[in-house]
Amino acid sequence: MEGKCNILVVDDDVELASNLQDILETAGYSAAIAADGQTALTLSREKAFDLGLIDIKLPDMSGVKLIEKLAELSPAMEYIIITGYASLETAVEAVRQKSIVAYETKPLDIAHFLALTRQVIERKRAVRKIVEYEELNKVKANLLSMVSHELRTPLATIKGYCTMLLDYNDRLGRDEKYEHLVSIDGATDRLTGLVDHLLDMSRLDAGLLKVNKQPTSMRRLLRQVVAEGRTRAPRHKVRCVIEKKLPRVNVDARRIRQVLNHLIDNAVKYSEKGGSIVIEAGHVGEELYVSVADEGVGISVEERDKVFDRMYHLEQKLTQGGGGLGLSLAVCKGLIEAHGGRIWIETNDGKGSKFVFTSPL
């Protein structure tokens, strides 16, 4: 509701409804009008409204009956009843509805009417901010809990093996010491990656993350990333398909490399060993596109819209031991948008996933 408030005016007096629409739009609101209940219901199915100005008597149904039907479509919508037939009975019938916040009689006092409308909208905005604040606090509490857990896991590994090396140094053979050091090194990398993700998300949220764009050969960058990917994922087939005349593009090479590494690591995590991971690049019109496709478990339509949310963590189906906060894709989205590009996913259940991002040429 921080943008324009949407108001629905329902009155069979077409001239009055049109005048109210003009007055409301002049006051900065977005207004639509309907002359009967069925038209109002159709409009409400097509667009969400914050406030309804409803005549108590309509050609096809009563205003109160219309409000009952509208409540099924927009539970948060509130209403001001307007009528030229004021009576105690209609007033009592109106105020029984919790969503009806006022009862105005014709002819309307425009100054009072606008003041009332403003009051209702400001109150709704205040309530919405309170709800958002409570939701934000809940998300922060959940994130803090998850971060604490994820930080403890690699720290426990590091602490455990360091203690073992210190306490049993004389009893451990050379190979055992090497294995413990490898475990410490891996746990340190996981810890560093988690901290980097959190710092990037913090910078993105604060609008402080900067991208240093330079003319870059995407062909060369992709070949370097693919070579590194093959080293990190020796049990997967990582290959690259690049358009022959791929134009140079102004990007922050370090940040694009970060995005590609996240997407390749994600493909490795959610696909079986031996599967193919294909990186493609080309350009269409004024955009360069890069995609990373795997042969993994895929992502359902319901999950597809959530994968770039910071709190989203796709349940593992075929692989084991892949923890994390699910922040890497949220970071990717922030980095690509910082370049003025787009990122999305194309996938079918059980048939792999393809992540695609673009950058303006």
Q: Count how many Cα atoms sit within 13 Å of the Cα of residue 222 in the half-sphere of its side chain.
A: 22
In this prediction, residue 144 carries a pLDDT of: 66
In this prediction, residue 318 carries a pLDDT of: 34
CA 251 to chain centre: 24
Determine the Cα–Cα distance for residues 326 and 331; give it in Å rounded to an integer: 10
In this prediction, residue 137 carries a pLDDT of: 73
In this prediction, residue 93 carries a pLDDT of: 56
Annotate 111-141 with DSSP letters as a single string: HHHHHHHHHHHHHHHHHHHHHHHHHHHHHHH
In this prediction, residue 94 carries a pLDDT of: 53
pLDDT averages per 10-residue partition of the chain, 361 residues: 77 90 90 92 90 89 88 86 64 61 81 87 84 72 66 86 90 90 88 79 75 91 90 88 90 91 87 88 91 84 73 42 59 89 81 89 83
For the chain, domains (ranges, CATH) are: 6-108 (3.40.50.2300), 140-206 (1.10.287.130), 214-360 (3.30.565.10)
In this prediction, residue 316 carries a pLDDT of: 37
pTM of the model: 0.54
Instruction: Cite the DSSP H helix spans in the chain.
Output: 14-26, 37-46, 63-73, 88-95, 110-167, 174-206, 218-232, 253-269, 301-304, 328-338
In this prediction, residue 91 carries a pLDDT of: 53
